[in-house]
Structure 1
Amino acid sequence: MEKQDMMLTNMLNMDKGEKEGEREKGRAEIPGAEEEGTQQENGRLMLADGLAERGTKSLSSGSEQQVSNGFNTSTPQSPKEGPGSAACSGGTASAPGGGPGSSVPPGGLRTLVVQQTSLERPRETWSKKMDFLLSVIGYAVDLGNVWRFPYICYQNGGGAFLLPYLLMAVFGGVPLFYMELALGQFHRSGCISIWKHICPIFKGIGFAICIIALYIAFYYNTIMAWALYYLLSSFRPVLPWTTCSNSWNTANCNRYMSTDHNVSWSNSSTSPAEEFYTRQVLQVHRSAGLHQLGAVSWQLALCLLFIFTIVYFSIWKGVKTSGKVVWVTATFPYLVLLVLLVRGATLPGAWRGVVFYLKPDWEKLLSTTVWIDAAAQIFFSLGPGFGVLLAFASYNPFHNNCYKDALVTSSVNCLTSFLSGFVIFTVLGYMAEMRKQDVGAVAKDAGPSLLFIIYAEAIANMPAATFFSIIFFLMIIMLGLDSTFAGLEGVITAMIDEFPHLLAKRREWFVFGLVCVCFLGALSTLTYGGAFVVKLFEEYATGPAVITVVLLEVIAVSWFYGTDRFCNDIKLMLGFSPGFFWRICWVAICPCFLLFIIISFLAFPPEVRLFDYHFPPWTTVLGYCIGVSSFICVPAYMVYYLLNAKGTFKQRLLKSITPVPSGDQYRDYIITNAV
């Protein structure tokens, strides 16, 4: 006994001498009763019930000693699973159930747990669990749920489209969503610094993600500026896009609702809503195209400045403040959607829109395009690969049930898309009834035009048009704000985690500089031809690049880091390991899912056009160059890493794919002594 105690003391003293001045003094703790939500939860304590099981096995082979750092343990357990545990510093602790009748003799097992914690500043956490959930939902539910899903759904077979959409969600979207939440929560790092814990040579993925997020911020917020212009224009007794007597209207402007019996409609006729959008808000008639954008619209510049001001004061202090803002920005859109759904359902002809939306065309499932659109829609709707899920999850308690969070938030996102279809198509059915046209003729516009022309015109012809216009465009702004909060927070978290000594104490100034960069980068989208720039960025600058980045991400995690290791990490957090379904999705199905989207995009590049402007061939080259400018970070960093690493090429290569233990700054020394 004395000899064994002396060995334990020597081992602890040796480690203490090596870490002196870098870590706090070792202290004994009792694992198993850890309080969820504390900032030290990623200490990854080994459980005494697991240790007791090992110690019991060691009794049969004589007196042994086991030492582990807790991170590389092969049998991690959740602190909520064990019925109880004990630890002592130089004392005696019995195994769980080690009282009378226990197979472990009294004093037969002694477990010493020494945890050494770092002197680093504790990581910020969410104030409440709902702050995190609302932030993720607000990020996932964006403008695309309102305009893109309904349009793609009716275009690809109506109700029949729901089958490929759900299949792509189950086998592709949700597994990627779950993977990113688990990675962020376990490693507690942003999208750049996390790669040293997964596969260091892939660190360029993090830089690529940040550049893609900036590109999105350059054009996405401009759409909110358009919505703000509409919102401010709604505070009038008569909405300005209902008449043809304004200064921006042309001789082709015609109102052609059923009550206007004297209107003569021709192919050259335009609605007042279309002219308000194109000639007053965008002023695209003053631009010849991408080669001649024109001047900056000062009205839109002021609107965008106001949007970025809201963004700055919502995220400048971190998730503590943004988590409170999303209680409004993430919930208000649902209230408005319900109001608009009820109002739309009571309009004449609403049933025509619903039938058009849901009537299945099963033959379209034989078309490859339908499956491509389903895969792309679920991917961009859930939003893995933008660094946001990693950042948000990194502020969670270590033992938070991210598995449940992934299922809940992804389900809410899909249901919101489905609900938005009813909101849009009840109104389109009403428009078709008033125009005496088919719903398909009314719903010919896609993208922002569906909101700013078709839906705006429908609202203008409703009773209480001003009220519905105000709440509708306020909803559009809030949907966009949530996504902007999330996208920039992903960049902020990544940069602060990568350069903590430079940026951690200067967060407010860094956020201010980032917002200024985004505003300056968006100036080209505020010109008279800015809508063409928005379309170019949307089609080329982000889509293919981010899908390729996520493909490399899932390959790095599943094939290099290893599915078994990743599942053990999840078991350490949640107390259970992902089943076979999740493993096969991460290893094979998700890479095939992403590769399918990439190949489809390259084989069938989209025809880029906006209004009557067809993008010339050189714009395709420009778009691909913008996309490659972000993705190039991945191979560039690989070359940089291999050139700067020390040792032979084989040693460099081995080091480049060897992860650094994520729990190194919170090392646990577990020593089990059976006597």
Structure 2
Amino acid sequence: MARSAANTAPAEREQWTGQTGFILAAIGSAVGLGNIWRFPGVAYENGGGAFLIPYLIALLTAGIPILFLDYSVGHRFRGTAPLAYRRIHPRAELLGWFQILLSFVIAVYYAAVIAWAGSYFVFSFGLQWGDDPQGFFLGEYLQVGEPTISTTLVSAVALPLVLTWAVILIVLALGVAKGVEKANFIGLPLLVLAFLALVVRAITLPGATDGLDALFTPNWGALTDPEVWIAAYAQIFFSLSIAFGIMVTYSSYRKRKSNMTSPGLVVAFANSSFEVLAGIGVFSALGFLAHQQGVGIADIEGLTGPILSFVTFPAVISQMPGGSLFGALFFGCLVVAGFTSIISILQGVSGSVQEKFGLGIRQSAVTVSAICAVISIALFSTTSGLLALDTVDQWANNIGVVTSAILMTLLLVWVLRRGEELRFHLNAVSTFQIGRWWNFLIGVVGPVFLAYMLIQKVVSLLTDGYEGLPTWYLITFGWGTIAFVVVGAFLMTATPWGRLGQEPFRPWPPYPPGTRRPVADEEASR
């Protein structure tokens, strides 16, 4: 006798309330700290206005295609990265855990930056950094010490970090629709409105046009430099939240019959639009700072990363009329942008643990948040926290995430030969159809650029080190991070699955086209 539909259909999954909820959550994930503190400096250093050409090409040939690849895997195989890849091929589960453990690592240190931004939001009202923003940030606030494994907690960082993890726990415990979606529904419009207010204020400051000229004046000669093109692909890749399990997880929460490609285009172009907006706001403010100091933009130090946000921008805020309000808006934006990103990162981790061990939503949220919080506080709220954070971030993103993307594209396109099936799936459920060119982009163009980036970075780290830090420190926090992810992926793959991982699963719609749809597959109608 045939098994009943109830016994063969995949387990009921949480779902977004609709397409708008998914789009807002996906944009919230993509728009993060890197949009504000990375893109403007990268564009300025790589050809100014001319950089937008390779940037757009990178978006169309790598960013959007790999974003679609993530969507297709999660939506067709109905799971977080480990479960979805397991359903493609049992041994592919290893890649899923590699991606999820990268998300785990990134979330652990990302929360510390959100805590810094929260502290600076409060500091803005009294301009507490005074006349020496760098001394305040590195000395009085973070109390940066030597590159050691410090156990000395900095209470000014630890307390807001505890609060950050408490809020994250609440959102994750509420689930996809009531927690993650609502957080983005509130946070994303708030972020956009606040940042628009910042930009409007910034472009009215004296010297703002000099900053915009510095950012957008094209250096056409830069287009012949291969490094500029690599920088463009790297920026697109790191800003879209692709290839480390986030979008696989998010797309798995969409109903079976859901348009996937058109929302993907909205997400990708919304993310890039925010980056350009961030560039306008940041360089208008930098133009004002240069005007006040009587120097050129090129003479200002700290045009990217934490130094831009927590040293250079406080210097701008201190010199402008109404600086307290401007500062509160800026750091408030950092908090919201960081928060909408970190909950997407941790939803993948929490969802994976939930599926692997058969836990409830709240059990999984509490378990993951508690473990992350303990590690986060122990490592990144100490006097060596900034150095550890910078080192872990360098290896997790430039080595871990790039490696993950290369493995993902090669595995799906060349080893398991699933490229055409995944393209079929996207076209079967979506209005915007993709042609065979997609297989070429994800199977050739993407891996080639990513492999060049990876080789270049590995050689640089092995020969030149990083930021003058001792070799033992780089091995511990840099290469040690990659070792942790690899070993953890093997251990999690070897751990037995609960019920969900043992259930029969039939992807829908059937492939190849024309295959008879199984009567038992109830979820196909959802």
Task: Judge same fold: TM > 0.5, yes or no.
Answer: yes
Q: Is the 8 A contact 2:260 2:426 kept in 1?
A: no
Q: Indicate whether 1:574 and 2:464 are aligned.
A: no
CA distance in 1, matches of 2:302, 2:519: 62
Corresponding residue for 1:545?
A: 400
Indicate the residue corresponding to 1:242 in structure 2.
Answer: 130
Q: Tell me if the contact between 1:228 and 1:477 (Cα under 8 Å) persists in the aligned partners.
A: yes
Q: How does 1:600-615 map to 2 (within 5 A)?
A: 600-605=456-461, 614-615=468-469
In the alignment, does 2:390 pair up with 1:535? yes
Q: Distance in 1 between matches of 2:445 and 2:297?
A: 37
CA distance in 1 between partners of 2:438 and 2:219 (Å): 32
Distance in structure 1 (CA, Å) of the matches to 2:212 and 2:508: 53
Find the counterpart in structure 2 of residue 49 from structure 1: none
Matched residues in 1 for 2:331 and 2:405: separation?
A: 33
Aligned to 2:190: 332
Indicate yes or no: 2:8 matched with 1:150: no
Shift of 1:443: 4.3
What is the CA–CA distance in structure 2 between the aligned matches of 1:554 and 1:346, rounded to whole Å? 46
Distance 2:433 2:294 in 1: 58
CA contact (8 A) 2:114 2:334 kept: yes
Q: Which moved more, 1:512-521 or 1:594-603?
A: 594-603
Gaps of 5+ in 2: 497-503, 511-516, 522-526
Q: Which amino acid aligns with 1:18?
A: A
Count of aligned pairs between the two proteins: 503
Larger radius of gyration between Structure 1 and Structure 2 = 1
Equivalent in the alignment of 2:19: 129
Report the counterpart of residue 266 of structure 1 in structure 2.
Answer: none
Q: Distance in 2 between matches of 1:435 and 1:595?
A: 42
Query: How far apart are the structure 2 equivalents of 1:634 and 1:273?
Result: 41
Kindly indicate which of the two structures has a greater share of residues assigned to strand.
1
Of 358, 365, 390, the match for 1:511: 365
Q: Which residue of 1 aligns with 2:246?
A: 388
Q: 2:132 matched to 1:277? A: no
Query: What one-letter code is carried by the residue in structure 2 that aligns with 1:197?
Result: R
**Counterpart Cα distance in 1 of 2:239 and 2:280:** 18
Query: How does 1:525-674 map onto structure 2 within 5 Å?
Result: 525-559=380-414, 560-574=416-430, 578-605=434-461, 614-622=468-476, 623-632=478-487, 661-662=506-507, 667-668=518-519
In the alignment, the residues of structure 2 paired with residue 358 and residue 609 of structure 1 have an alpha-carbon distance, to the nearest angstrom, of 30
Structure 1 unaligned residues grouped into runs of 5+: 1-16, 25-116, 244-271, 645-658, 671-675
1:8 — aligned with what?
none
- Residues 224-271 of structure 1, C-alpha deviation per residue, up to 9 Å, x if partnerless? 1111111122333xx12234xxxxxxxxxxxxxxxxxxxxxxxxxxxx
Equivalents in 2 of 1:427, 1:144: separation in Å?
17
Cα distance in 1, alignment partners of residues 58 and 431 from structure 2: 28
CA gap of 1:572–1:668, structure 2 versus 1, over 3 A, is: farther
Q: RMSD of the TM alignment (CA)?
A: 2.5
Is residue 303 of structure 1 aligned with residue 148 of structure 2? Answer: no
Counterparts of 2:457 and 2:466 in 1: how far apart (Å)? 16
Alignment of structure 1 residues 428-439 onto 2, 5 Å:
428-439=286-297
In 1, the alpha carbon distance for the partners of 2:301 and 2:200 equals 20
Amino acid at match of 1:278: L
User: Displacement of 1:537 after TM fit?
Assistant: 0.6
Q: Distance in 1 between matches of 2:221 and 2:444?
A: 29
In the alignment, structure 1 residue 452 sits paired with structure 2 residue 304: no
Matches within 5 A, 1:132-531: 132-236=22-126, 239-243=127-131, 272-284=132-144, 287-289=145-147, 291=148, 293=150, 295-321=152-178, 322-500=180-358, 503=359, 506-522=360-376, 523-531=378-386
Q: TM-score, normalised by structure 2?
A: 0.90
Could you tell me whether the CA contact under 8 Å between 1:138 and 1:482 is conserved in 2?
A: yes
Are 2:98 and 2:485, in contact at CA under 8 Å, matched by a contact in 1?
yes
| Alignment check: 8 A CA contact 1:428 1:443 kept | no
**Residues 19-50 of structure 1, C-alpha deviation per residue, up to 9 Å, x if partnerless?**
2xx535xxxxxxxxxxxxxxxxxxxxxxxxxx
Distance 1:375 1:120, change over 3 A: closer
- Say which SS state the counterpart of residue 203 (structure 1) adopts: helix
| Partner in structure 1 of residue 5 of structure 2 | 23
Post-superposition offset of 1:577? 5.5
SS in structure 1 opposite 2:81? Answer: coil
**Distance between the aligned counterparts of 2:52 and 2:397, measured in 1?**
25
Report sequence identity in percent. 26
Normalized against structure 1, the TM-score is what?
A: 0.71
Separation in structure 2 between the aligned mates of residue 452 and residue 118 of structure 1, nearest angstrom = 54
Q: Which has the higher helix share?
A: 2
Deviation at 1:217, TM superposition (A): 1.4
